[in-house]
Amino acid sequence: MDNKETNWGFFWRVISKAVLLFILLSLLFAVITPLESLGRVSLYNWLLPGRLRLPYGETPAVSYNLSLFNIPAMFASHAVTEAPAEDEFRVLLIGDSGTWGWFLENSDTLAAQLNARDLMTVSGQRVVVYNLGYPVMSLTKDLMLLEEALKYEPDLILWPVTLESFPREKQLFAPLVQQNPERIRPLIQTYTLNLDPNDGRFINPTFLDQTIIGQRRNLADILRLQLYGFSWAATEIDQAIPAEIPLRKSDFEADESWQEFEQPTTLTTDDLAFDVLAAGMQMVGQVPILLINEPMFISSGTNSDLRYNSFYPRWAYDQYRDMLAETVVNQNYNFLDLWDAIPSDEFTDTPVHLTSAGTKQYADLISSQLMELIESSE
């Protein structure tokens, strides 16, 4: 046998063994499903600084950010995963895109504005607020992230909400929720939520989907999040903010529709997910929590007698506020209603996105209530 045949035989044996080894590793990967554990391995908070808000992005090459579905990886990239300092009073802020800070620099978000006040507790601890908002409007998304957030030793929770997060049909519409059924189903069972654990929108991976090949997108996202961290550390840019931000609508058609309702109707708890709100209040246990009905744009334009804004006809929002107020009284929740507290010209592209000046006013209104709650809990 000549050397050429020997070399080719050796080459094919090596390739065959490599392919076989990859197949075995891929099958083993599917059996042990280590993505959650892999997500917790991060360059952030040791080689790179922790991010100031959870990863979310649609233009990663511009914003050094991306949306992914691995919740441990999202949190591992955030500054909240650092152990609290001995003199730190840790406040976690959850909520939607308004909380996250849509079209706001990190220094202008609600969390940053609260931190800029250098608030101190009676016992001399520094109040440090962490921005754990995420740009999806769904109480169930909030509940899922709250469960993870509680692992990071909060002393107090701030939870801004608005009607758009309450519709029953919206609870499972978010990709982040649909991609994490193993987190949502136990919540449905534990808190007896009026949600279907077998909802067809859940992404239920097959065995092959859980192999290395099936998980290649999720693995790549985890890697990209680490790589974008170097550009984030240099620039702190995590979203693309246009030079000119389009403004929310002020004039409307003579239309009173909302969600699936074409005409005004009487809303019930079958329509609005107050059970998910109650689950969050139960989940935090002894940790104080301040529920906030967040500010919204109130139009004075055409047909503003029918609609407050593009999100809400007056009949729907007024019923929501009444139901929320009744719930707060019955359950004795700590509550702050700021729905009409910010001038209309301080809203940007949607009825719940504030300018930096509007966010500063928002933080002013929260800070006094926050300190009262902290002092009462010490």
Domain with residue 136: its CATH number is 3.40.50.1110
> Tokens at residue 340, please?
């009409």
In the chain, the number of structural domains is 1
250: in domain: yes
State whether residue 354 is helix, strand or coil: strand
Length of the chain: 378
pLDDT score of 376:
87
290: in domain: yes
Q: Are 326 and 376 in contact (CB under 8 A)?
A: no
pLDDT score of 63:
87
User: Please, which residues bridge with residue 88 across strands?
Assistant: 126
- C-alpha to C-alpha distances, 12 to 3, 24, 204, 355, nearest whole angstrom: 14, 18, 37, 63
User: Please, which residues bridge with residue 93 across strands?
Assistant: 131, 158
User: Please, which residues bridge with residue 313 across strands?
Assistant: 307
Nearest to 191 by CA among 136, 132, 143: 143
Q: Are 240 and 59 in contact (CB under 8 A)?
A: yes
CA distance 189 to 182: 12
- C-alpha to C-alpha distances, 272 to 162, 173, 246, nearest whole angstrom: 11, 14, 30
316: in domain: no
CA distance 228 to 212: 22
20: in domain: no
What's the domain range around 249? 32-254+269-297+334-377
Tell me how many degrees the CA angle 35-36-39 measures, rounded to the nearest 5.
80
71: in domain: yes
54: in domain: yes
Give the global pTM: 0.91
pLDDT score of 34:
64
260: in domain: no
Helix orientation angle between 274-283 and 314-331, rounded to the nearest 10 degrees: 30
> Which amino acid is it at 114?
L
Look up residue 108 and give its DSSP letter: G
User: What Rg, from alpha-carbon coordinates, does the chain have?
Assistant: 24
Q: Where are the alpha helices (DSSP H) in 69-115?
A: 71-76, 97-100, 110-115
311: in domain: no
pLDDT beneath 50: ranges in the chain:
1, 24-32
Q: Is 232 exposed, middle or buried (0-12, 13-18, 19+ CB in 10 A)?
A: buried
pLDDT score of 36:
80
**C-beta neighbour count of 14 within 10 angstroms:** 10
